Amino acid sequence: MKTYIVDVKRNALDDGPGIRTLIFFKGCPLSCVWCQNPETKSPFQEISFDKEDCSECEKCVAACDLGAISFLNKYRINRSICNLCGKCVEVCPNEALKFVGTEYNIDDLVNLILKDKVFYDNSGGGVTLSGGEPTFHIDYAHELLKELKKENIHMCLETCGYYNSEKFKDLMLPYLDLIYFDMKIYDSNLHLKYCNKSNVTIFKNFEDLIKNENVEILPRIPLIPNITSTEGNLKNLANYLISLNIKKIEMLPYNPLWLSKAETIGKKTDYSYSEWLNKEEKDKIKSIFSEFDFNDF
Amino acid sequence: MLELEIDENIEKFKETLNLLGIVFTRKRLRKEIYNEKTGYIFNAKYQFSTRDGEFNLNLIFENGNITVAEGKIDNPNITIFYKDKKTLAKTWDKSADETLEYLLTNEMSFEGNMTYLTKFSNITSIATGAKIKGYKGPENQLIYPIEEIARGEEKRKLKNETLNRKIDNVQYLEDPYLAKYLINDFPRIKYLKNRRRALKPAICVERAKLLTEYHKENGFEVDASGNLIVPELRQARAINHIMVNKKPIIHDKHLVAGSTTSKEVGVPIYPELIGTAVWPELKTIGNRELNPNDIDPKDADILSQEVFPYWMERNIREYCRAKFKNPVSLYLEERWVFYFMMKNNAISHTVPGFPMVINEGLESVKNKAAEMEKKTDSIEKKDFYKAIQIVIDGALTYSNHLSEEAQRIADSLDPNDPEQSIRIKELKEISRICAKVPAKPAETLHEAIQSIWTSFVCLHCENANSALSIGRLDQMLQPFFLSDIKKAKNNEEREKIIKKSIELVGSLFLRINDHDPLVPSIGNKLFGGSSSDDTVTVGGVDRDGNNAVCDMSFIILKTNEMLCFQDPNMNARYYPGINSKEYLRRLCEVNINMVASPSIHNDKVMIEALVNEGFSIEDARDWAATGCVEPTIVGKHYGHTNCMLLNLVAPLEMALNNGLHPLIGEKVGPETGDVRTAFPTFQDFYNAYKTQLKYLAEKSIEINNYLGRAHQYIHPTPLLSSFYDGPLEKGKDLIQGGAIYNTSGVALVSLTDVVDSLLVIKDLIYDKKELDFSTLINALEDNFENGSAELLKKIERVPKFGSDEPGTIDIADDLLNYCYDVYESTDNYRGGKYLVGYWSISYHVGYGMLTGALPSGRKKGKALTPGLTPAPGRSDLLLQNIHTIGSLNYLKMPNNASYCVKLVPHAGDSHEKTLDLFTSYVQSFFDFNGMQWQFNVISSDTLRDAMENPDDYRWLIVRISGYNAYFTQINRNMQLELIERTEFQSK
């Protein structure tokens, strides 16, 4: 079994306890306008172009049989023509053009992950499945979890919550130790507007999941200016979580660096907020969630 | 420079030499070359020549007269060569310091006795009017106000966890972390610590003067009747003379008596070793930018006119040069870039048997020697046993003098003054203790500590202050701590004894800081920042393999953490699975609080590496670090662990240039072939590198053995020998192979840069064929300046050492094997093995200055890579670095290896979380069989701030490679190298 993985990030220190390896799956059922990892949205391989690395040698133009590459095009590649043959990637001397997504079979991925087992063991760390959306590749994720659990590795999942509950409970949940569950927008219509899917399934899945006592669930709130981090939305989320008797949450502050990443794969959206959260904004958010336990951000 | 200008300058050079003749007829200066009162006459012949032999000038000092003439003379004491006339024209009027630059870059070189060069620099500096400035009196100067030091120290915010349960072999400490104690609980220690930091060390002539005076009276080579003198006896009598006549000093407020020098903080001079190297700077050393030393003008005259002249031929370097007829191996050493031989400066690097002295006393050693003398028929052995008795007599006399001095000061104080009456009590106790130890066995912690310190002082009358190490201090002191605390009747009394123990260890550490090594300008320039490296080791296992981490281990760590001194250089042994994780956690915490101490050793791996070299398992378990990090078996092992530092990059430059070294401009190595045509496969090129390396290694072994023989004649060590198992039984001095183990320790510098360069050559030239040697050589000669941008990018993308990519570790392991085999193939002059290790002190910076651009992409003059650490930027992930270094074969690095990590806690993390992470990194490294871990827990930004505001950071110690240095005292290149190291964030 194979799937596209955008990145295997070793030596990760966030996204779960201890020293971890993060697996970024490629492909997500939602399509949030602010997606912080836009290169993981599509389940297919892509070619990225980073103009910072380009020495303008134009070798790629000559290499492309379809004429998809032009220096008149700021993004270099006309993606409606490109068939991902990869000839441009091959000739690029500076790795300005690169494939996004590498196909991994389970064995190779497991071997790579196990290289760092000593670190997981000594630090109370492990592996975190992230993305993209790991549940989107549920059969592959199942195989991977099964293999890693044989080695007694602490497993963590980061999910948008949009999954088939029955399959999830069957194929993934039994192997997980910790789940970061994204809580984005309380209002269903707004959720549909900004994330391209309603939140009904997500909230239902969440309520279902917290009944389970074998795994720790941490709701995680991405703080996206003007979308999720509005006072109204945050208050609604806070009240909702209180009603479910949730005490501990996690904050995910906005990171504007995604904008340049989106550019490299031609995935710009209308949302283009370019600032980090300032202290005033953070303090306000903290006051809304004053009843909760969360790590400083 | 125009031809005309060159000629004019050369004329000026002649005039200036002539001028010397006039200047030195003046009475005040004349005594530098002719002194009727003392009978000192400086007769010498200097030859100045261009290398092509076109221009020759000579300068002759004869009975107070100076003559200058053109042409060559027979048998000059020294010939100073200039690259060409142009170099001579621009070089001759430069200061001693600048001249050094020309020597380093090989525009100047010399043949003959180097001491004559230093004397010449001294003469020219005097002629050009150098004067001692700013000397204020006989006491050390405070260079910084103590309040300023105290204010800067407040920047150090200590974080301490509490652990309210006993761990390891702890018997009395309820909280082994001793979290509740702060430096403010020890006002005496706090004051003395700040005072030490504020003092400017002063050159001390006491030892040099006594030594010279003894030999002038009694002869060196022959006695008054013309009979040859036995070196061991000569040395014993001279050292006895020093100890007996040395001023006994008990500094105000100190609890431990005795001092290595006559100054509050002194720089002792060993003229038979490196001492004369400071000759050119006698007038200026007080004002130099890095590590200035105070000097009394009278002392400067004593050194220049009475001491140094006597030792011009009788120092190790010059005796070796004359005896072995100016060997090529010495010529290479004096080109600076190939290898550095520590024996010119000192041997010292070892761990004397202090446990034997505190437990049995020196009197019993003396008695043993007397018995052995009676029993043996061998005249040589009899002489050696006599020598032992003579030096021990000297040591015991010194100890008695200390006892008398303590009593004398006590008598001079007013018993009715409340403060003085306390001091009187202390002094009386000191007097009692000094009358007892080290002659007799110690019985209390205070006695044990005094016994160690008096021994240490006496050993330094004989041996240079260069990493003569203390050893396993926790193991030595624990029995005394236990016997003290067992007398306590209740908790309150126990607490008192714990506190007193911290204060006593602090008192010892303060004494250990009473001396600095003599560092000539070249040392500051190329290297620098090194202390005497008096090393203390804690933890690990005992001789039977049991957990040895005890109360005293934690008391020592606590004291060390509060003082934050460079010395004692602290080394901690950690035996995974036997020592507790909580102990490892504490070691990480001390590093967070001290920035860069202690070094943490994988005890299991170190012991295995030692057993692999033939040490018995029990002895291997009893190792302590010497100097930086090198393992030495306490009291059994004379293993000059830092006998040399060899530059592994030099043979690479030679292999690329068919034996020629680009900086030297001479074919110094074997012809291995023109790189453009001679190497069809990578293996062929690699073999050429190995050939050059082997050549240099063999030369380094040869010169080390020659220098060892010079020590046997010039500098035997009867006192040090009496601290060892072996010499008494064998009836011979340590320097003759008297110890049980007789190895020599080698440090190989900058393996990483070689591996990275080889990886680039293999990948781009041989595997991918994207590059050829001609293009590479041109780019190197051009320092990657013009049109090399694309090449540099290609080079950057080649996976290198530390990336953990396939193939990057194999080549390093192969090279480790090769180096090991080359050095193990020959015995040293004492019949022991050469053990190799990988730590670089600061030589990676010094050698870097003298190294051209490298295939790895490193530019000309930049620092090489410290110890066994990946180069900066090789990986963003600490884990890949750790995996790489941990994977190397530790059996091939028995002289230890330093992996140095700059790791910065994430600001948002709690102390607890930071410690969790730090501890897991170190533990994981050791689980991979990594040998030794060194921290720099500091960000590059803070280091930059320290460069800008040194006053706030006098306390800041950083890990260079192996050793520690005060950041504000190292040269700029070293500071930058530290800043440029990869900074791993715990985020």
pLDDT at A228 over 90: yes
Q: Residue B90: its pLDDT value, please?
A: 83
Search chain A and give the residue with CA nearest B770: A93
Cβ neighbours of B846 (radius 10 Å): 29
What HEC string does B162-194 produce? Answer: CCCCCCCCCCCCCCCCCCCCCHHHCHHHHHHHH
CA–CA gap between residue B490 and residue B205 (Å, rounded): 50
User: Is residue B865 situated within a structural domain?
Assistant: yes
> Each residue of B64-101: pLDDT tens digit?
999 999 999 999 999 999 988 888 888 877 776 777 77
CB contact under 8 A, B916 and A123: yes
Category of B863 on φ-ψ map: left (φ > 0), alpha (ψ -120 to 50) or beta? beta
Query: What mean pLDDT comes out for the span B899-906?
Result: 94
Which sign does the torsion angle of CA B869, B875, B878, B880 carry?
negative
**Strand segments (E) across B37-173:** 40-41, 44-50, 56-62, 65-70, 78-82, 108-112
> Any CB–CB contact under 8 A between B879 and chain A?
yes
CB pairs under 8 A between A and B: 51
Q: Which of B771, B803, B805, B879 to mutate to test the interface with A (most CBs of A within 10 A)?
A: B879
User: Is residue B860 situated within a structural domain?
Assistant: yes
Select the more confidently predicted residue: B716 or A76. Answer: B716
Q: Residue B115: its pLDDT value, please?
A: 96
Measure the N-to-C terminal CA separation of chain A; round to a whole number of Å.
Answer: 38
Query: What mean pLDDT comes out for the span A184-199?
Result: 96
Of the residues B852, B874, B896, the one at which a domain ends: B896
- Looking at domain A47-98, its CATH class is alpha beta
pLDDT at B722 over 90: yes
Cα dihedral angle (B27, B31, B34, B40), rounded to 10 degrees?
150
Query: What mean pLDDT comes out for the span B474-491?
Result: 97
| A122 → closest Cβ in B797, B883, B920 | B920
Counting Cα atoms < 13 Å in the Cβ hemisphere of B599 gives: 36
Query: What mean pLDDT comes out for the span B29-51?
Result: 90
User: Is residue B62 situated within a structural domain?
Assistant: yes
Residue extent(s) of CATH 3.20.20.70 domains in chain A: 2-43+101-288
CB contact under 8 A, A14 and B790: no
Query: Residue B780 contacts by C-beta under 8 Å, 6 or more apart in sequence?
Result: B656, B852, B853, B854, B855
Q: Residue B101: its pLDDT value, please?
A: 79
CA angle B76, B80, B84 (to 5 degrees): 135
pLDDT interval class at B987 (50, 70, 90)? low
CA–CA gap between residue B201 and residue B142 (Å, rounded): 9
pLDDT interval class at B691 (50, 70, 90)? very high
- Confirm if B986 and B905 have CB atoms less than 8 A apart: yes
Of the residues B127, B162, B188, the one at which a domain ends: B127
| A13 → closest Cβ in B793, B917, B924 | B917
pLDDT interval class at B416 (50, 70, 90)? very high
User: Is residue B403 situated within a structural domain?
Assistant: no
User: So what's the ipTM on this one?
Assistant: 0.90
> With pLDDT > 90 as the criterion, what percentage of chain B qualifies?
84
Q: A10: which chain B residues are within 8 Å (Cβ-Cβ)?
A: 877, 879-880
Of the residues B833, B863, B896, the one at which a domain ends: B896
CB contact under 8 A, B920 and A18: yes
Residue extent(s) of CATH 3.30.70.20 domains in chain A: 47-98
CA angle A14, A113, B926 (to 5 degrees): 80
Query: What mean pLDDT comes out for the span A91-96?
Result: 89
CB contact under 8 A, B916 and A18: yes
**Strand segments (E) across B795-855:** 834-837
Number of structural domains found in chain B: 2
Which sign does the torsion angle of CA B661, B667, B668, B674 carry?
positive
Task: Give me the domain span that covers residue B682.
Answer: 339-347+634-896
Select the more confidently predicted residue: B463 or A57. Answer: B463
Query: Residue A168 contacts by C-beta under 8 Å, 6 or more apart in sequence?
Result: A135, A138, A205
Cβ neighbours of A205 (radius 10 Å): 22
B543: closest CA among B642, B636, B446? B636
pLDDT at B21 over 90: no
β-strand partners of B67: B60
> Any CB–CB contact under 8 A between B794 and chain A?
yes
Q: Which of A7, A9, A19, A92 to mutate to test the interface with B (most CBs of B within 10 A)?
A: A19
User: Is residue B112 situated within a structural domain?
Assistant: yes
Quick one: which H or E segment has residue A98?
A: strand A97-100
Query: What mean pLDDT comes out for the span B634-638?
Result: 98
Phi, psi of B900 (to 5 degrees): -115, 125
User: Is residue B191 situated within a structural domain?
Assistant: no
CA–CA gap between residue A129 and residue A141 (Å, rounded): 8
pLDDT at B524 over 90: no
Q: Residue B947: its pLDDT value, please?
A: 96
Distance from CA of B629 to the nearest CA of A (A): 26
pLDDT interval class at B625 (50, 70, 90)? very high
> With pLDDT > 70 as the criterion, what percentage of chain B qualifies?
99
> With pLDDT > 90 as the criterion, what percentage of chain A qualifies?
85
CATH of residue B49: 3.30.1050.10
CA–CA gap between residue B574 and residue B563 (Å, rounded): 22
CB contact under 8 A, A93 and B794: yes
Q: Which structure tokens are listed for A239? A: 């009240």
> Each residue of A21-46: pLDDT tens digit?
999 999 999 999 999 999 999 999 99
At residue B37, the 3 state secondary structure works out as: coil
Q: How many residues does chain B have?
A: 987
CB contact under 8 A, B877 and A11: yes
User: Is residue B13 situated within a structural domain?
Assistant: yes
- Confirm if B23 and B55 have CB atoms less than 8 A apart: no
Q: Which CATH architecture has domain A2-43+101-288?
A: Alpha-Beta Barrel (3.20)
CB contact under 8 A, A123 and B917: yes
- Confirm if A35 and A19 have CB atoms less than 8 A apart: no
Q: B986: which chain A residues are within 8 Å (Cβ-Cβ)?
A: 13
CB contact under 8 A, B793 and A93: yes
- What is the secondary structure of A28-52 as a DSSP string? -S---TT-S-GGGSSSS-EEEE-GG
Q: Which of B795, B918, B924 to mutate to test the interface with A (most CBs of A within 10 A)?
A: B924
> Each residue of B538-591: pLDDT tens digit?
999 999 999 999 999 999 999 999 999 999 999 999 999 999 999 999 999 999
User: Which position has the token pair 């023109």?
Assistant: B674
Work out the mean pLDDT of chain B and round it to a whole number.
94
Query: Residue B713 contacts by C-beta under 8 Å, 6 or more apart in sequence?
Result: B231, B319, B323
DSSP state of B304: I
> Each residue of B124-155: pLDDT tens digit?
888 888 888 878 777 677 888 888 888 888 88
At residue A133, the 3 state secondary structure works out as: coil
CA–CA gap between residue B280 and residue B125 (Å, rounded): 7
What Cα–Cα distance (Å) separates residue B509 from each residue in B345, B586, B865?
24, 20, 31
> Each residue of B815-869: pLDDT tens digit?
999 999 999 999 999 999 999 999 999 999 999 999 999 999 999 999 999 999 9
Which sign does the torsion angle of CA B426, B431, B432, B434 carry?
positive
Q: Residue B873: its pLDDT value, please?
A: 82
* pTM, 2 dp: 0.94
CA–CA gap between residue B736 and residue B740 (Å, rounded): 12
B299: closest CA among B260, B268, B273? B268
CA angle B149, B150, B154 (to 5 degrees): 115
